[in-house]
Amino acid sequence: MIHHDRWTHDGPAGIRLDRAIAARYPWLSRAQVAALLDSRSVQLGGRPAPKGAKLPAGAVLEAVGIPEPSDLRLQANPSLLLRVVWEDDWLLALDKPAGMPTHPLRADETDTLANALVARYPNLAEIGNPPLFPAMLHRLDTGTSGLVLAAKTQAVFLALREAFRRREIEKHYLAWVYGDVAAPGRCDSPLTHRTRSPCRMRILAPGETASGRETFPAATEWVPIRREEGRTLLDVTIRTGVTHQIRCHLAAAGHPVVGDRIYGPPTGLPRHLLHAHTLRLVHPATSSPLLLAAPPPADAAWGNG
């Protein structure tokens, strides 16, 4: 822990405070930088300042209680259940339950899929993007269940990350949505973080412009599988992986995911009914086609309990 750090900003005038902090402590995530500023751990000119403050040239900054890399190591939690649905020498396919975060935002969080993963496979702690998000190639929202892919070697991690970047991996989800969806649909609207809530995304309006840091291309396709009692079960396909992509696109199409507290109507369900069902990819080590699958939760909300 860095108990006290004082320095003079020698960069250009006008840089945001949160970006200056990230440059000073490059091992911190954006969420960790935001938490430090929210806790008033960083002062500008002797006073706490918001993360969006613009720094003048020569600004004097002080910080207390800054975690060092050794403070941020992921903690193994062997008490958590880890559902492995497929494994070989190079890859793991994990089935994340709804309600469990994919990885922690702080080192003192221990009830995530990442904590369970390193408890069973401690050597994976150094693969990928440690310290708090090791080995895993993608995230699921806390309320979303289903497949998460993890690499067992750094070479495979890098190969799969490139495959995701090139949109070569096809992800299929099952989603119960409100309304009667009679035909297949598609949404190609870009998504943006520019909203009043940091926990919400929205579609970029026609003619609206936003910076590349705020806008993300996204394409979502869906096919109805079953309709009953005012709702429809969809097979949803994506190759992009934008935060809340499926939930936001389906809500914009007039069919929010059942139980979605952000994009849908109020509900008594404890979670939204979205499940990462299958992954189609080319195995990075064997070059063979690979289809991975995890069944949806076996409960009444999914209609199979």
Q: What is the pLDDT of residues 286-302, one digit of tens each?
A: 999 999 999 998 876 77
299 falls within a domain? no
The pLDDT score that the predictor gives to residue 7 is: 86
In which domain, by residue range, is 15 found?
A: 5-72
Q: What is the dihedral of CA 255, 186, 140, 199, to 10 degrees?
A: -60
Total number of domains in the chain = 3
Yes or no: say if 15 and 24 are a contact pair by the CB < 8 Å rule.
Answer: no
Domain co-membership, 147 together with 62: no
Q: How many residues does the chain have?
A: 305
Pair 154, 204 in one domain: no
* pLDDT score of 72: 74
Q: How far, rounded to the nearest angstrom, does the alpha carbon of residue 126 sit from its chain's CA centroid?
A: 19
pLDDT tens string 253-264:
999 999 999 999
111 is catalytic: no
Q: What is the CATH number of the domain that holds 43?
A: 3.10.290.10
Residue-level pLDDT at 267: 83
d(CA 35, CA 37): 5
Domain-embedded: residue 302: no
Q: pLDDT (tens digit, 9 = 90+) per residue, 58-115?
A: 899 999 888 887 777 889 999 999 999 999 999 999 999 999 999 998 788 999 999 9
Asked if 205 and 129 sit in the same domain, the reply is no
Looking at residue 12, what DSSP letter applies?
Answer: -
User: 190 and 120, same structural domain?
Assistant: no
Name the domain boundary from 143, 166, 189.
166
Question: What pLDDT does 38 receive?
Answer: 86
Does 222 lie in the same domain as 148? no
CATH number at residue 158: 3.30.2350.10
Last residue of a domain, one of 17, 50, 72: 72
- Which of 5, 71, 108, 141 is an active site residue? 141
